[in-house]
Amino acid sequence: MRIAIVGGGITGLAAAYDLERLTDAQIDLFEASDRLGGKLGTERLGDLIVEGGPDCFFAAKPGVFEFIQELGLEDQLIAPKQKEFAMLVGGKLHRVPAGLVRLAGPDPQAVEAATFLTERGKAEWHGRLARGYQGRPAPDEDESIRSFFTKRFGDEFTRLVAEPLLAGTHGGDAERLSMRALYPAYYQSPIAPPLERPTFLSFRSGMQSLVDALVNGLQRTQVHLNTGISAIDRPFRARMDTAAACQGFALRYRRSPIQGGTEAVEEFDCLLLAIPANHAASLAPGDLAQKLRQIPHRSSAIVTLAYRREEVGHPLDGTGFLVPPSEPGTISGATWSSEKWDGRAPGDQVLLRVFLREGHHSVEEAREAIEPLLSIQGEPLYSSIKTWPEALPQYEVGHLDRLAEIDALLAQYPRLFLAGTSFRGVGVPDCLRQGREIAKKIAETL
């Protein structure tokens, strides 16, 4: 039996890792780029540790800590040095009171202490709280993040607190993003939903440690880098019938330039597309491709900057700041990496990560936004930008219904599987979970 995995990100790697332990099948993993790990990647540049994508993961997700232990990474885990953060409102940084985002719902005293909320906004929040919200959505009903929170806390609190915390981190529009798909536990809660910033962890040497552990755990998987799949000849390009579907998959791909750049076709019994929905759509048959294209994606860019500490006037207290989507500007937030995590920069330097809004993609734009805000006088010692075109899936209202329709179409192909950030979770633990769940399903079909 042969299994093909298309996509060498965290989802594909987790699937390959478990498949080696669950089956005796031959496993081939195809990755179009020259490296594994997808959006996870760490560079060590002298004394700087620079992340190209996520710098941490949500440690409370079910199963993730146990898997970290299985990979032998437990002793490399580190927690943030600080947890406080700020909100950029009206051109000024305002500390977010801890009780504003606590698990049981916002603390009234914290609401009063929030200097970026107006008296009108605070009064609206208190009024909504006093009236209470008795509504509870039906299990199959969906609602946008903005609608959900406005009903409970009012417009201003939603715009300046809920949206940057829950929608801004996805790079999306709170009026369109699905509460049911992104935050199902909160959505079904009859009480005020929690807004607490959850516990995040990272690795002493950066998130690349997770990628390396997964790759090093692969013993039988044949990895094909710089190898993109150009077509799935059968059954998608053949006449579709039950017999063709049962015959497996003929993958057409182009070998890497090192291997001569020639095109080849190989046969596989099972196929996992662990790639974004918009990429999978280019390989899928008509009806399935159409549904996959209905999952929109947005682009993002991260600028990393290092400065001499003596040239930064701001104390850099906390971990960074968020910018509510309703505020003007080119950035959606920033993280003080050197203050948030141990070992990211020498003591006499500060390392910053600045997140650009969609449509902005230059180091200069990040500098123009961050340097006046932090009273930075000198030139950066280091600067870089990492762009991720159409890399942020948007779980818009109706996302779970679209997934149900995709699943119904997939039923025509019993050994075709889809997984990754476009589908059932965007965080690192979600990707690990999806890869491992699909591995179990594949093993059950063999």
pTM for the model stands at 0.92
- Classify 439 as helix, strand or coil: helix
- Structure token pair of residue 362: 């230059």
Give residue 362's Cα distance to chain centre: 21
DSSP state of 420: S
* Ordered DSSP codes for 280-326: HTTTS-HHHHHHHTTS-EEEEEEEEEEEEGGGB-S---SSEEE--TT
In angstroms, the CA 33 to CA 266 distance is 20
What is the pLDDT at residue 136?
Answer: 64
Which residues neighbour 274 within 8 Å (Cβ) at sequence distance 6 or greater? 5, 6, 7, 9, 11, 12, 15, 419, 420, 435, 438
- Cβ(106)–Cβ(121) below 8 Å: no
- Which of 166, 147, 155 lies closest to 101, judged by CA? 166
What is the pLDDT at residue 131?
Answer: 81
Q: Which residues pair with 27 in a beta bridge?
A: 3
Establish how many alpha carbons lie within 13 A of residue 198's alpha carbon, considering only the half-sphere containing its beta carbon.
Answer: 11
In angstroms, the CA 56 to CA 175 distance is 27
In angstroms, the CA 392 to CA 169 distance is 10
Establish how many alpha carbons lie within 13 A of residue 291's alpha carbon, considering only the half-sphere containing its beta carbon.
Answer: 19
- Cβ(302)–Cβ(356) below 8 Å: yes
What is the pLDDT at residue 191?
Answer: 54
Q: Which residues pair with 306 in a beta bridge?
A: 351, 382
- Cβ(73)–Cβ(203) below 8 Å: yes
Question: Rounded to whole angstroms, what are the CA distances from 235 to 26, 47, 374?
Answer: 21, 51, 57
What b/e sequence results for 377-405 when a residue is b if at least 16 CB atoms lie within 10 Å of its CB, and e otherwise? eeebbebbbbebeebbbbbbbebeebbee
In angstroms, the CA 289 to CA 122 distance is 47
DSSP state of 167: I
**Element of type H or E holding 205:** none
What is the pLDDT at residue 169?
Answer: 79
- Structure token pair of residue 84: 């406080």
In angstroms, the CA 161 to CA 410 distance is 39
Give residue 319's Cα distance to chain centre: 19
Domains and CATH numbers, the chain: 2-38+207-295+395-445 (3.50.50.60), 42-82+296-393 (3.90.660.20), 97-194 (1.10.3110.10)
> Burial level of 21, CB count in 10 A (0-12/13-18/19+)?
exposed
* Strand segments (E) across 235-276: 249-254, 263-268, 270-273
Q: Do β-strands 249-254 and 263-268 pair in parallel, antiparallel, or remain unpaired?
A: antiparallel
What is the pLDDT at residue 111?
Answer: 94
Per-residue pLDDT of the chain (446 residues; tens, 9 = 90+): 999 999 999 999 999 999 999 999 999 999 999 999 999 999 999 999 999 999 999 988 889 999 999 999 999 999 999 989 999 999 999 999 988 886 456 789 999 999 999 999 999 999 988 887 656 667 678 999 999 899 888 999 999 999 999 888 788 999 999 999 998 877 766 555 555 545 899 999 999 999 999 999 999 999 999 999 999 987 654 444 444 445 689 999 987 777 777 889 999 999 999 999 999 999 998 899 999 999 999 999 999 999 999 999 999 999 999 999 999 999 999 999 999 999 999 999 999 999 999 999 999 999 999 999 999 999 999 999 999 999 999 999 999 999 999 999 999 988 999 999 999 999 999 999 999 999 999 999 88
Q: What angle, rounded to 10 degrees, do the helices at 10-22 and 208-216 form? A: 30
In angstroms, the CA 249 to CA 235 distance is 6
Say how many Å lie between the first and final Cα of the chain, rounded: 8
- Cβ(67)–Cβ(435) below 8 Å: no
- Which of 426, 362, 359, 420 lies closest to 392, judged by CA? 426
